[in-house]
Structure 1
């Protein structure tokens, strides 16, 4: 029977299925065989590539062993436990420049992956307003930058969901 992935609070199961590849590996951290290999960013003082299983990320042992983090979160008003969970126990995502984690309602948000073109086209007014405030842009800029958006292009739009008020938040960057 195949072992299922651990449940991560701040990413969807769908995203977990893309950042953990089905690939039998020996985890550098726990030295155990794993049916899944982490395929995301690791920020560490350790030289070279580190092969990790999902369980060593989930329990924080990889972050501890390699003085590593997987994400950045810039909202310093969050409880330390939330920051630790996001930075040291949550798989990261790849972005063009800065993979800062979205926060809202005094909590980290859940990452869904790259926003789809439909997500952007259907963005609610509160989502658009939050993006404009976060990036110091106006409605005309939203229209300019988001027109014709496609995942994997020269700009990244990363979809987060507030666990408390259901607001969709888009983090954004360029190549």
Structure 2
């Protein structure tokens, strides 16, 4: 197996986000010990604990286990094509969230997931760089208040996305 991880259009650095980790465990789909396994959500009837990035990229694991890495409903609601929805839900690593993840969209496409927002990202929100995509109106004061208490991987959680077309930064918000 190649040592370079496959490329995921909608999740460009799954090692940095923690969705894929180094591991000596064999993939339950292909049986290979690739050195990496997936660690985020996988929705399937049976419990699956070790999927390699190559079986994610090819769609083999989603097909074999009749599963998905993220919820397709927000993507359907955004009016995206079945091709894009399939790419995100069946061939792209998902991410850990408090509730069920919501993959953000912009410019009629799914966005690239960049990981948890940093405290610096929250400060930039107050300056008008990016926005939280939750259907609410956020003011600079709201962002400043959030920035006082925000911690990466805390609650509330902010998930950073970037539009692949206009490069706009968007954030999904979630809380336990």
TM-score, length basis structure 2: 0.88
Equivalent runs, 1:131-146 vs 2, <5 Å? 131=132, 134-139=134-139, 140-146=141-147
Other structure's SS at 1:145 match: helix
Question: What value does the CA root-mean-square deviation take over the aligned residues?
Answer: 1.9
- Tell me what 2:128 maps to: 125
Contact 2:11–2:114 (CA under 8 A) maintained in structure 1: yes
More strand, by proportion: 1
Other structure's SS at 1:147 match: helix
After superposition, the C-alpha distances for 1:36-56 in whole angstroms (9 at most, x for unaligned) are: 11111111011x333111100
Distance 2:164 2:138 in 1: 26
Distance 2:109 2:51 in 1: 27
How far is 1:2 from its partner? 6.3
Distance 2:169 2:36 in 1: 29
- Tell me what 1:64 maps to: 63
How far is 1:16 from its partner? 3.0
Distance 1:43 1:55 in 2: 18
Structure 2 unaligned residues grouped into runs of 5+: none
Distance 1:147 1:75 in 2: 32
Distance 1:2 1:63 in 2: 21
Stretches of 4+ aligned residues off by more than 3 angstroms: 140-147
